[in-house]
Amino acid sequence: MRVYTMAPLHKEVEKKGGKKKEMIMVEVKKEIIEKYERGMRVAEIARFYKKPTSTICTILKKKEEIRGLDAAKGVMRISKQRPRVLEDVEKLLLVWINEKQLAGDTVTENLICEKAKALYTDLVSKLPGTSTEKEEGFKASRGWFDNFKRRSGIHSVRHGEAVSSDAKAAEAFAIEFQKLMVSECYLPEQVFNCNETGLFWKKVPKRTYSTEEENAVPGHKPMNDRLTLLFCANASGDFKVKPLLVYHSENPRAFKKCKVQKSQLNVMWRSNSKAWVTRILFVEWINEVFGPAVKKYLLEKNLPLKALLVMDNAPAHPPGFEDDLLEEFEFIQVKFLPPNTTPILQPMDQQVISNFKKLYTKALFQRCFEVSEGTNLTLREFWKNHFHIVNCLKIIDKAWDGVTKRTLNSAWSKLWPDCVLGHDLEGLAHEQEPLVVDEIVSLGKTMGLEVNEDDIQELVEEHGQEPTTDQLMDLPHEQQQEVMEISSAEEEEEEKVEESLTSYKIREVCKMWETVQNFVEKHHPNKAAAVRAMNLFNENAMSHFREILKRREKQASLDRILVKVARKEKDSIEPIDSKDSVSDSESRPTR
């Protein structure tokens, strides 16, 4: 089975008249225009891209036309014969692949083609004059896939055998793992598993409604209400590590309102625009939370200072990250689960995370019940105006605390059955789940909400679902908005920082950044990776300072205009026969 991931796009060369003619991608043309507008000279750009200056000048002459092109990644030119809807399909497909990759999911050729056809059908159905013939016009053929792969730069990595043999691979690894536990004398207290999960923290069952007030819970944009949690516990189930939580905002407005100190939270709070766990954030969690907590726990238990962390090989924690561990945590060893076996073997996937989400829903309903009983607020008013991320954090803490030692321990029954207490291995993890679901249903009915067991199960499964076509279309825009959203506390701090920065200093730093960027892009062995890294830093860091300059320049321009207007108004009301006025005008410098 081939699994596809994002990769640098190489230069495309087309033969024409016996000579090789190198085509320039639309996205590269936009980069050239951007570099020129940032102050880079034509000659420098030509040297960097190894193009004639005439080619660069031609691109710059057509910059408005090029800016208007809305092409999928890797497209060289826009053809009138290529349907616009296909451009949209490929752009959304790249967003989808990136989302799947960040989530640690595998993406095969068949999955990509099926998703492409689904996106095409959804987009065509939104066009006026849609017909069945139009919908059947795109087959996502092998030829299309090969061209899409070439244009977009996704490449395949062979991951073991086909899906049908995953169970065999899991069985073989489990046998190997159990032998390792015996040979290395690991105790259940010393072996840990961690895994990420998405949580739509404002989501309730679809059929939830009030018999007295319809639509009691108003809709929300689900992508805005998403966060990612990384849970970790040991095989004995008696020690839970503080979770890592990644949200799209570093300082939500509710933090200032509730005077939250992030260092005092029961989670390690981090942020990025996609609300995903990245390699950098994962290493921070290992060094700042996992390592110190495990070391303290083992010393308190008078256990040997050795620990094993079992996890999958998601992009956030690929092989080799151990090199980033601090020296004092060298006692931590890492064991990766084989690809495509995590749903079978990973302990956190064996009812631990699903149990947490049921407990979260229960705690959420309890909070709603308390509000409806103890205040004059309706459920709609509470949900819309008073349920914020700080409430969510309290519920997360309560739900994670509610995951029992027995549930955590029995989750290892498939990977390491010898560490599980009791004989009824399969029954232990599920023992309390029906009770939790019954309690959620009971709470819902008490509040006048119509909800049943199937609704709760559907909700738990939906937390891990991928975005719909509409959500994929909104995602880049929403993420851009999320990055630009700054809390009132941040705004106040930003104003103080801006006041201390002179325009001269900002221009000086921007020039230094250009020098660093050009050097890295020119000499880095992986040019595509370097460009992506530079662009990311450019967008997330340097753009802030350029915006300050733009605002100041606009304000200065406005001030000059106002001064001119004020002078004209003053001149118009001065007496024509006034000698002072004449002498003033004569003495005023000519503009």
In this structure, are residues 188 and 236 in contact, taking their beta carbons and an 8 Å threshold? yes
Q: CA 11, 15, 19, 25 torsion: positive or negative?
A: negative
SS3 call for 272: coil
What are 270's strand-pairing partners? 246
Contact 394, 388 (CB under 8 A): no
User: Taking the domains of the chain in order of start, what are their residue ranges?
Assistant: 2-158, 163-462, 502-591
Q: In this predicted structure, what is the pLDDT of residue 172?
A: 93
One-letter-per-residue 3-state SS of 99-144: HHHHCCCCCEHHHHHHHHHHHHHHHHHCCCCCCHHHHCCCCCCHHH
- In angstroms, the CA 347 to CA 358 distance is 17
Confidence at residue 437, expressed as pLDDT on a 0 to 100 scale: 81
Residue numbers of the chain with a pLDDT score lower than 70: 1-23, 68-82, 99-106, 128-137, 153, 155-165, 204-224, 315, 318, 423-434, 459-468, 470-500, 528-529, 532, 539-540, 559, 562, 565-566, 568-591
Q: What is the dihedral of CA 199, 204, 206, 210, to 10 degrees?
A: -170
pLDDT for the residue numbered 483: 42
Give residue for tokens 């000519």: 590
Specify the CATH superfamily of domain 163-462: Ribonuclease H-like superfamily/Ribonuclease H (3.30.420.10)
Instruction: Give 269's strand partners.
Output: 245
For the record, the structure tokens of 319 come out as: 């092989």
Polymer length in residues for the chain: 591
Q: CA separation (Å) from 309 to 167, 342, 407, 482?
A: 22, 14, 19, 33
